[in-house]
Structure formats: C-alpha cells, structure tokens
Amino acid sequence: MPPIAEKLRQIQDGIASACVKAGRKPDSAQLIVVTKTASIEQIIEVVRAGFIELGENRVQHLKQIADQVGESLQASGQAHLASQIHWHMIGHLQRNKVKPTLQICTMIHSVDTLRLAEEIDAAAAKLHLHVPILLQVNCSEEPQKYGAPVGAVIHLAEQIASMPNLRLEGLMTMAPLTMDKEVVRTAFARARELFEEIKSEKIVGSRFHHLSMGMSQDYEIAIEMGATMVRIGSAIFA
Ligand SMILES: *Cc1c(COP(=O)(O)O)cnc(C)c1O
C-alpha cells in the first residue's frame, strides 16, 4: 500500500475509534484532508484513495493546485475524480479574495466578521450560489488569533442567518497551540457550548449541524468534545 494511503487509513481508524470511545457512530466525524503542504502527486494519491474532502488555507495556492490536480487527473483519464473533489476554505479570507474562493470551494469554514459575511453573501448572489459557511470562533480568546470573539458569536450567527445567499451550517474553531490537553479541551468545550446554544435557540434552523475542530495534534480530543469535521494535514503529509 502506498504510504499516503496507509496514513489516511490510520487516521481514518483513529477517527473511528475516537468516535466510538465518545459513544458516537464510527463515521460521525468527517475527515478534511488539509493539503497546504502536500505535493500535487500526494494530492492525487489522496483523491485516488477515495478522499475527496480537501482543505486549503490560501486562495492563491488553492487556485494553482486545483488547476494542476485537475489537469493531472485529466491526463491520466480520471477527469471524473477531479470533479468529485470538494474544496474547503479553512484559512483567513480577505474580502477581495471572496469571488475566486466561491468559484472553487464548496464550503468556507473561516467566516469571522459581519463584513466578510456580507461580502460573501453579495458575491454569492451574483454567482447565483447558496454558500455553506461556518462561523469561526476564537475559543481560546488569544488576541492575535482570527475568529469572532466568544461574546459576539450568537449575535453574529443571527445576522448571518438572515443573509439570503449564505447557509450557516455550524461553527469552526482552532485550539491554542499547546501540549496541555486540558487547555485544548476547555477551548473545544466552549465551542461545543456555543454550538448547542445556537442550535437550541433555533437561531438558524436545522441545517446548523457542523462543528469543525481538531487538527493532527488534537483531533481525538475534538471528537470527544463533539467535532463533526476534523481538519488534518501534517499527520498525513509530514
Ligand atoms: C494547517 C491547518 C490545519 C491542519 O493542521 P495540521 O496540524 O497540519 O493537521 C487545520 N486547520 C487550519 C485552519 C489549518 O490552517
């Protein structure tokens, strides 16, 4: 088995057992393969292994690799695989990069201000799209990090929910960079609380069902705390 496929299988097993440990169905957390450090060849291997939910954090790079991956698959007679890929924008998004992002991505995880949401809503209207988005929360409340402040999230969710061309499907967060598992767990628990609160107050309707949290170092804790999507890169490609 090629090494990438083997690693993907290990991660998939890790996700399934973390789900079971948390009393959840083994397939209740979706793997987003973060390709920002991967080569085109590695990305092709990922797609051939059947993993089509891919994440990138920079639009410019995403455009380049999406094209190259498409060409490469086409050249090997597998253009159908290229059309199955779902790209997720997971990194900070500048307002002037919204249009190219919408042309490639099926979901944006990193919406964290009203102005960005408004920009995406307007661009989506022009492109006749209804865009699935997640609201990024700064759960560790580190000042240098992206994400809406915890105290602003409910109100922001209400505002975004009223935008006609956006579909608010959940929350996204990143844990602080620390080896201290309790600090990580506390940040994820806060995201979970906000998620449940928004859901129970029926601010945004039944589509609100995703909690995108957990990376290579902390995905097991994230699943324990309710993640429905984990975004993993270095554990696969490093
Ligand atoms: C890079 C990145 C990841 C993946 O992190 P790894 O530690 O490589 O698994 C997840 N989410 C975001 C927003 C990222 O930028």
Best mutation site among 7, 93, 212, 215 for ligand 1 pocket (most ligand atoms within 8 Å of CB): 215
Atom of ligand 1 nearest to the CA of 172: 13
Query: Which atom of ligand 1 has the smallest separation from the CA of 216?
Result: 9
What are the pLDDT digits (tens) for 78-127? Answer: 999 999 999 999 999 999 999 999 999 999 999 999 999 999 999 999 99
Which of 90, 140, 217 maximizes ligand 1 atoms within 8 Å of its Cβ, making it the mutation to test the pocket? 90
Q: What is the pLDDT of residues 181-214, one digit of tens each?
A: 999 999 999 999 999 999 998 788 889 999 999 9
What is the CB < 6 Å shell around ligand 1?
34, 36, 57, 90-91, 174, 215-217, 231-235
Its pTM surpasses 0.75: yes
Ligand 1 atom at minimum distance from 57 CA: 15
Please report which confidence band the pLDDT of residue 1 belongs to, taking 50, 70 and 90 as the band edges: low
CA gap 28, 34 in Å, rounded: 19
Q: Is the pLDDT of residue 2 over 70?
A: no
> Given phi > 0 = left and psi -120 to 50 = alpha, else beta, which region is 134?
beta
pLDDT at 144 over 80: no
Distances (CA, A) of 111 to 4, 40, 67, 83, 132: 31, 27, 25, 25, 11
CA of 82 to the centre of ligand 1 (A): 22
Residue with tokens 């600090």, as numbered in its chain: 183
pLDDT score, position 203: 80
Cβ atoms within 10 Å of 62's Cβ, excluding its own = 24
**pLDDT for position 202:** 79
Mean pLDDT of 42-54: 97
Q: Which CATH number fits domain 4-237: 3.40.50.2300, 3.55.50.30, 3.40.50.720, 3.20.20.10?
A: 3.20.20.10
Half-sphere exposure of residue 196, counting CA atoms within 13 Å on the CB side?
A: 9
| 204: Cβ contacts below 8 Å, ≥ 6 apart | 157, 158, 160, 161, 168, 198
CA of 119 to the centre of ligand 1 (A): 25
